[in-house]
Chain A
Amino acid sequence: MKTIIITKKSDYTWLRDIFPGLHPLLIPLCNKPFIEYLIDFSILVGSSGLRIISDGVISDVENFCEHGSQWGVEISYANILPSESLSKVLEKNSRFCSGERIMIISGLLFIHYNKRSDYRSFFASLPPGEIFGCSNGNLSLTGVPSELGKQETPPLLSPVVLDCIGQYYELSNEILHHRLADYVLPGYSNEAECFIGRNVVLQKSVTVIKPIIIGNNVQIFTGSVIGPGAIIGSNVIVDRESTVSESIVMDNTFIGEQLEVDKKIAAGNLLIDPESGYSLTMEDPHLLSGIKSKGISGSPFQRVTHGLTAAWMIMLLLLPYLLLKPFLKLSGCWKTEKIVYHSMKHGKKISLNRVSIEKQSILASIAVFLSLDRFTWLFWVLNGHLAIIGCSPVSVSQGIQIINNNTAGYRPGVFSYSEAEDWPQNTFDSDIVDHYYAVHSNLIKDIFLTQKALFNRIHHEDKI
């Protein structure tokens, strides 16, 4: 038996709006990533191999699961196109499937199971076809069933499709209140209904009311009340005299002092009411905020060098900019358009002037030669929103389709790698080049490619 898990971007659009940057297979359910439940279940079913297939980015899942040695099962990965049918997916993965019985879990489908039950013989005896199916997910089998070890009573098997935030909250609550014993959950548990992770500090007079689950590196300050029904993720701080009950606090969240969080989901500075689906973004960092994790904007030395280069270019180009811009603007060669782009800083947006200069005069040619159209962008490098060289910035209206903000590939720059490599701009090919270098770049490559980009821009077409 082998297992194929198929998730398509269309299955989890609701989730991306709420938790941008978090892959749906990694969303925590009682502090255990969703994919781990699926892996555990496929092992109980008797799978020797597991293939995770998606039409989106799965590098985060790959980094988490690696080749499956942690679970003693071989895990591999494959990409598909959004429009491909199940038969096409199986055809494309025919080497993996060759002659084996395959269990296919499609969509964001959670399957309630019991770690003590025997699913191996039950699944081996089931006929091929759909076991459970609905519009957003299904569980099916291919291959020839075996009559050996057929069970009279089927073991617990109850599927739930995660299709909204309310469903996610309900499922987490159901596991916490009724099914804690069914799964292997993270943390140690000296008594029932209480799981606590590593490096958890509960200060004096903290009240804990079961059932609760607390992740790793959590600090709960004096006088706080945790529970009942609290699921607290890792790297969380609950400040003094706050109450968290019947709520989920996601990883890297700070809960301010004297707050009452009841029947809510807190994720960074976002507070979600799971029942209505409404969310509230807190502007006051003392109430609710995210705890910063390591960024993706390169090494500190690389960032400092980008900043220094930008400062040097600003000093060099300030005078030509002040002299040439008014003249070109008056002559109609200098046209600007204000566009809001996604910043290098996660979740932030920046408003940039996209300048087009028509090379109608010598002065316009000089302005292009000096890249004055990007002059104002250089200031955004100083505060870390842009790099000197990186991807072409993606506008907010365009959405983040190709460049995904949960990948390490988005590092917008004043100049782009595709400009350096002289690829046609605003095409999918240029995105490929941008992504390639955004991940593989280093300081030396950045310096070399910035020079190349500047050189290419001089020799470019009449209009920049």
Chain B
Amino acid sequence: MTITEKNINNFAIISLQGILNASSAPKLKSHFEQSPEGVSVVIDLEKVEFIDSSGLGVLVGIARKKKASSAVLKLANLNDRVKKVFEITQAYTLFDIYDDVTAAAIE
């Protein structure tokens, strides 16, 4: 999985590309462990080809940590495959989900 990062309006925009499963989830987790906790983040999931329960687990963990440090985690651009998993697991109730990265990166 490829992780790219840029900044818009004091939000860190993390774009993920590839598969977010048990083998790639630790990479995303360690990426966030290395970044400052108080920074709000938008994760762009447009190019995520597959996400499983481990991937969802990491996203839930990141959301919790951000909430604890008074920052926010927003998700944007969920493609149909990712949306399906969020729908099945009803994980959408845990996240702020936007259809556009720029709109998500507004305080």
Contacts and interface: CB of A to CB of B under 8 A. Distances in A.
Interface stretch (A139-147, A222-230, A341-349, A435-443): A435-443
A435 B89 contact: yes
A428 B63 CA distance: 13
Contacts of B90: 57, 402, 404, 409, 431-432, 435
B53 A79 contact: no
A24 B46 CA distance: 30
A94 B103 contact: yes
Nearest to B103: A94
A436 B20 CA distance: 14
A174 interface: no
A79 B86 contact: yes
Q: How large is the interface on A (under 10, 10 to 19, 20 to 34, 35 or more residues)?
A: 20 to 34
A425 to B, nearest CB: 15
B21 to A, nearest CB: 11
B103 A92 contact: yes
A78 B97 contact: yes
B56 interface: yes
Contacts of B106: 91
B10 to A, nearest CB: 18
A436 to B, nearest CB: 4
A77 interface: yes
Contacts of A62: 87
Interface in A422-464: 423, 428-429, 431-433, 435-437, 439-440
Contacts of B92: 79
A106 B88 CA distance: 24
Interface in B48-65: 52-53, 56-57, 60
Nearest to A58: B87
B89 A436 contact: yes
Nearest to B64: A429
B33 interface: no
B99 interface: yes
Contacts of A91: 98, 103, 106
A57 B90 CA distance: 7
B9 to A, nearest CB: 14
A61 to B, nearest CB: 11
A433 B103 contact: no
A48 interface: no
Interface of A: 55, 57-59, 62, 77-79, 81, 91-96, 402, 404, 407-409, 421, 423, 428-429, 431-433, 435-437, 439-440
Interface of B: 52-53, 56-57, 60, 83-94, 96-100, 102-103, 106
24 contacts: A58-B87, A62-B87, A77-B83, A78-B97, A79-B86, A91-B98, A92-B98, A94-B103, A95-B99, A96-B99, A409-B89, A409-B90, A421-B53, A428-B94, A429-B57, A431-B89, A432-B53, A432-B56, A432-B91, A433-B89, A435-B89, A436-B56, A436-B85, A437-B53
